[in-house]
Amino acid sequence: IHIPAAAISVLLLGPGTDVTQRAMELIGDAGVSVAWVGEHGVRYYAGGCALTHSARLLIKQAECVSNQRKHLQVVRKMYELRFEGEDTAGLTLQQLRGREGSRMRKLYKACAARTGVAWNGRSYDPDDFSVGDPVNQALSAGNACLYGLAYSVISALGCSPGLGFVHIGHERSFVY
């Protein structure tokens, strides 16, 4: 299939996809990120190379992750950008994570009520996509696509997906 690489920003490739070396070269030259995903787009396995030729952002990321005060400042700023008007000044990392989890549960419930979709909570088996109900399958597939896009942006900027702020200790902490 011919794809106009210059017209897209990220290409998600699933199982069984064959891509020629020349196609990957053209995709890279066009600045398109590539993410290899699992069946149904549920898992994200790998991404392409950075578009930057500088380690400036990676160095800044590592500096902020490594310094406890700066680390928490970044987390608070991330929350303030996402949730305008919310005061995060005295909150710990654990409290901020708890707020996000609570906010997401409320959001899922409110969206289900607004749209009339039956909602029994977020439930999925990462090893078996098919056991989830259709809503949870859609959320899992959507999250996988979002993670793939986030990973490709992080990589394109030359940052490390493993050096996270809200989440830590996983190879894709910054992605989450």
Question: Measured at the alpha carbon of residue 108, what is the angle toward residues 40 and 12, in degrees to the nearest 5?
Answer: 25
State the amino acid at position 16 in one-letter form. G
The answer to whether the predicted template modeling score (pTM) of the entire model surpasses 0.85 is no
Q: In tens digits, what is the pLDDT along the chain, a chain of 176 residues? A: 777 766 777 788 888 889 898 888 888 777 777 877 777 666 666 666 666 778 999 999 999 999 999 999 999 999 988 888 888 888 999 999 898 888 889 999 999 999 999 999 998 887 888 888 999 999 988 888 888 788 878 888 889 999 999 999 998 899 98
Contact (Cβ atoms closer than 8 angstroms) between residue 37 and residue 43: yes
Place of tokens 């493993």: 162
State the amino acid at position 48 in one-letter form. G
Contact (Cβ atoms closer than 8 angstroms) between residue 44 and residue 144: yes
